[in-house]
Structure 1
Amino acid sequence: MIRFMFMCIFLREVSCMDSLRFLAVGDWGGIPFWPYDTPIETKVAKQMAKVSEMYQSSFNLALGDNFYSNGVTDVDDKRFKETFEDVYHYDSLMNPWYIVAGNHDHYGNASAQIAYTKRSERWNFPDYYYSLNFKIPGGDGVDIIMIDTVLLCGNTDHDIVGDQPHGPENVKVAEDHWAWLDTQLKSSKAEYLLVAGHFPVYSIAEHGPTKCLTNRLKPMLNKYNVTAYFCGHDHNLQHISSSESGWTVDYFVSGAGNIVEDNKSHERDIPAGSLKFFWAKLIDLGGFAVVEATSKNMTMSFVDGFGSTLYSYTMYSRKS
């Protein structure tokens, strides 16, 4: 943990008060039977709490698959307490959580997760998709566009390993979502523009690139100079950096909050030379992402379940 404080104070030559910091974790949703969590989930939660306390992080992004393996039934489902409240119970994790739904959430009642926003002071899931803006001390800010990749692309088959989305259940709902997303990206003037969803655009693991997103979302990310795309779905940590259309978009998979799977079956399905980092070490008990943004740069670091920094990468303002 001291390594984070060192990074914040000395490597940046600024104090922690001069930056915006947040955590991102995906596929963290426990198990559907007692004890309703896994050793990986509880270990990751403990390390997130330590980082959040020392690093003074402002909020957390939950990147989907919030409740395995069939979501929740209604707003009174005991899983909210057993898999979320009782696991992420630390004082430093009582800051805001911003949620998107994953495929497993849509197998159940995803609208109940939205409704839970009114039950919890820290659970923020106002709609299937929404936008966030955060001020950076001494700078403009960070825009984060939270999207629902199941509404956009359709869901996967629960019983088929590595299955691709089958197309949106409601085409009009999907098209409205795409139109909203285009407007949000086009209008952003932020120094850093992030998009967060569940399905990956690029991944080398079990599910691989999501065809729907590579065909339609990727051109939008390039067109509007998006800084990075954060997702889960594959149960490991990845950084893929792809330079296309004159702009480099960084793709971060942070899907190791509850399960770790070492799978590289789609390594040849991403642009050559674009894989910068891959981690899936079960013995290290999961991992998550830590992001720090200043007016000069944004650094993403992956951290494992023992609090070790696995990898760090720095991105620069869209205005530089």
Structure 2
Amino acid sequence: MAINNKIAAVLLVVYTVVAAANVAAELQRFDHHPTKPDGSLDIMVVGDWGRRGLYNQSDVAFQMGKMGEKLDVDFIVSTGDNFYDDGLIDDEDPLFVESFSQVYTAASLQKQWYSVLGNHDYRGNVLAQLSPVLTQRDSKWLCLRSFIVNSGIVEFFFVDTTPFQDKYFTDDDHKYDWRGVLPREEYLSNVLKEVEMALEESSATWKIVIGHHTIFSAGHHGNTQELVDQLLPILEAKEVDLYINGHDHCLQHISIPNSQIQFLTSGAGSKAWRGDINEWDTNQMKFYYDGQGFMTLRITEVEINVAFYDVFGKILHEWSTKKYTHMDS
């Protein structure tokens, strides 16, 4: 896994900069190109998982391993809330190994993991979770605030969504690690500018944005109004194809009228909230499942195929879309 050595070196630089100051810069970019002869890319997405294998986390991981082998996945995406309940204490916290390395043990899952932070991760030592020491402990681990993974035909834009939510800054019940985020207004402004610029400059056929928090959801947390107001207009204007999130502990697919964006939730990596669903327009709600599971994406130059799986490996919902480039006309 030569890519991991490069990532470890890059992470060390990034971590040093972030720890020193909150500096506006271009989003960090990682190249992860398809290796299959036909140029296709297979991705697995899981979120809200880190519970030492409990709450069916190990069962989901087992099915991920089986499907990962079948699909020969290129990499895995984590939509955040990687370690419950309060993130990591430091970069030597045994929770990292107990909830990650000792759970996702299948050979097919020993690929690169690209992870964003969730609100529970912000309750711990954020810099520890971003530390290159974790990559040294387990070479498949990579977690940054906001960054890009370039796979040629598709670019993945990972966005740090937790600082957008007002309620976390007035929450008296929990303490959040805002190092590197304050002053908040400047941080959010920089994130939005960086994402907008990166989307504008992208020449990829497909643009996929990944964040922890929902934009639209019928689940427990519901819509995230701050993202609807601040991030969504950018995603619409820059013709993003998919927005993928965790946060709500479910599997979900929402399609909004007059929007090209499909809103996909994969936050069912461990503890689920049975029966916790709010009313939603049935024409927009293409799929909702309140149990554990994960999601896969198969991406080619002209097509994306999405599939949601439950804890038994059964396909619950599939969706696909095609995009014909000028070369196909």
Same fold (TM > 0.5): yes
Structure-1 residue corresponding to 2:161:
149
Q: Give 2:139's aligned amino acid.
A: E
> Considering only aligned residues, what root-mean-square deviation do their CA atoms show, in Å?
2.1
Q: TM-score, normalised by structure 1?
A: 0.82
Where does the alignment leave 5 or more consecutive residues of structure 2 unmatched? 1-35, 175-180
Map Cα deviations across residues 207-252 of structure 1 (whole Å, 9 max, x no partner): 10000011111111111110000000001100001133xx411000
Structure 1 position 297, deviation (Å): 0.5
Where does the alignment leave 5 or more consecutive residues of structure 1 unmatched? 1-15, 31-35, 136-140, 161-166
Say whether residues 1:120 and 2:159 are aligned partners: no
- Taking a change above 3 Å as real, the CA distance of residues 318 and 40 of structure 1, as seen in their structure-2 partners, is farther
* SS at structure 1 position matched to 2:296: strand
Q: Give 2:214's aligned amino acid.
A: P
Map Cα deviations across residues 94-128 of structure 1 (whole Å, 9 max, x no partner): 10000100000001112211102343310012x31
Q: Is the contact between residue 154 and residue 168 of structure 1 (CA under 8 Å) also seen in structure 2?
A: no
Structure-1 residue corresponding to 2:118:
102
Partner Cα distance (1:158, 1:228) in 2: 34
Partner Cα distance (2:182, 2:208) in 1: 23
* SS at structure 1 position matched to 2:157: strand
Q: Which of 46, 49, 57 in structure 2 is aligned with 1:25?
A: 46
Q: For residues 48-197 of structure 1, what are the structure 2 equivalents within 5 Å?
A: 48-115=64-131, 116-125=134-143, 127-135=144-152, 141-154=153-166, 156=168, 157=171, 170-197=184-211
Partner Cα distance (1:158, 1:88) in 2: 34
Q: Which of 188, 208, 216 in structure 2 is aligned with 1:202?
A: 216
* SS at structure 2 position matched to 1:43: helix
Q: Is the contact between residue 301 and residue 311 of structure 1 (CA under 8 Å) also seen in structure 2?
A: yes
**May I ask how many residue pairs the two structures share in their alignment?**
280
Q: Give 1:173's aligned amino acid.
A: Y
Structure 1 position 39, deviation (Å): 4.2
Sequence identity of aligned pairs in percent? 32
- Taking a change above 3 Å as real, the CA distance of residues 179 and 272 of structure 1, as seen in their structure-2 partners, is farther
Partner Cα distance (2:117, 2:59) in 1: 22
Q: Is the contact between residue 227 and residue 315 of structure 1 (CA under 8 Å) also seen in structure 2?
A: no
Structure 1 position 261, deviation (Å): 1.2
Q: For residues 229-244 of structure 1, what are the structure 2 equivalents within 5 Å?
A: 229-244=243-258
Q: Give 2:63's aligned amino acid.
A: Q
Q: Give 2:43's aligned amino acid.
A: F
Q: Is the contact between residue 243 and residue 249 of structure 1 (CA under 8 Å) also seen in structure 2?
A: no
- Taking a change above 3 Å as real, the CA distance of residues 154 and 131 of structure 1, as seen in their structure-2 partners, is farther
Q: Which of 252, 260, 264 in structure 1 is aligned with 2:264?
A: 252
Q: Which of 286, 296, 314 in structure 2 is aligned with 1:276?
A: 286
Q: TM-score, normalised by structure 2?
A: 0.80
